[in-house]
Amino acid sequence: MDKISTVAIVGGTHGNELTGVYLAKKFNNNPDLVTRPSFSSQVVFGNPKAIEECRRYIDKDLNRCFSRPDLQNAILSSYEDTRAKEIQKILLPPQGLPVDVIIDLHTTTSNMGLSILLSSEHPFLLRLSAYLSSLSDEVKVCCSPKSQNAVYLDSLSDLGFAIEVGAVPQGVLNAELFNKTEKLVLAALDYFEAYNRREIPGIPNALTIYNYTGAIDYPRNAQGEIEAMIHPKRQFQDYQPLNPKDPIFLTFDGQEILYDGASTVYPIFINEAAYYEKGIAMCLTQKKTINYSNL
């Protein structure tokens, strides 16, 4: 990438994640905040109907509707499938240039702090992440390698990424996290401007990154009902090591269930409210360090 020409800032991919919704409204009403001399920015409201109703989605999760087969499937006609096709045309216009960078704003009920979620270890994204993580110890970087059938909105761009902030309840604004998210977005835009001017700020010698390896569901009975909760010692412990034999769940009658993995992992999205329906109690990551020379 020689130059960043266009940036899309998306809020309300999930309609009840209000930090992104109201940041998008603020940026839309004050475009000078996200305008830089060397590139243009556009604000996109991901799921307008869900935003209006303050719901995660109307028919299905919009952030799972962006696989290439689904986008090309004219039979899929749910509200979110239709909206995904509309967003594709906005961000990848058939008669125009595609956006270079997509920043998709999310919140989580998990204690994720300020998290940057990458779909690939693209050198540009790693350098950006290294810079942003140098600004605050709260910034963590996660990577879930993009498959050929990527389904997330930010997968429409090779330089797309999400900012996931928490813990904050669904349908609630938290002023502190709102302000921190805004500062992180503006810092990213300032980085793009510096990149275009070939004045890239210094980055740390190493970047810590958490690579997604899989997910764990809650213990369930034959009817699919949950039989245990996140253990109190694991609640709100996102990014903290989970070792073999550590308590991970607690049954309703007080019995501990221990982690039976063979090695230490670092869970994220612990007890995320929206993931109960997806059968996910937490996601597991492996922690690694990338040296500056490899970025």
Fold of 6-204: Aminopeptidase (3.40.630)
What was the pLDDT predicted at 144? 87
The contacts of residue 184 (CB under 8 Å, 6+ apart) are 114, 132, 135, 139, 163
Cα 179–chain centre separation: 17
* Confidence at 204, pLDDT banded by 50, 70, 90: confident
In angstroms, the CA 189 to CA 7 distance is 8
Averaged over 268-290, what is the pLDDT?
97
Q: 3-class DSSP state for residue 231?
A: coil
User: pLDDT at residue 292 above 80?
Assistant: no
What is 213-286's CATH topology?
N-terminal domain of TfIIb (2.20.25)
Q: Is residue 230 pLDDT above 60, yes or no?
A: yes
pLDDT tens, residue by residue, 86-114: 999 999 999 889 999 999 999 999 999 99
User: What is residue 146's predicted lDDT score, i.e. its pLDDT?
Assistant: 59
Pair 64, 153: CB distance under 8 Å: no
Residues of the chain with CATH 2.20.25.160: 213-286
CATH 3.40.630.10 location in the chain: 6-204
pLDDT at 294 over 60: no
Over residues 111-150, the pLDDT tens digits come to 999 999 998 899 999 999 999 999 999 999 999 875 545 7
pLDDT for 291 equals: 86
Q: How far apart are CA 153 and CA 123, in angstroms?
A: 20
CA 257 to CA 250: how far, in whole Å? Answer: 6
SS3 173: coil
Q: pTM to 2 decimals?
A: 0.96
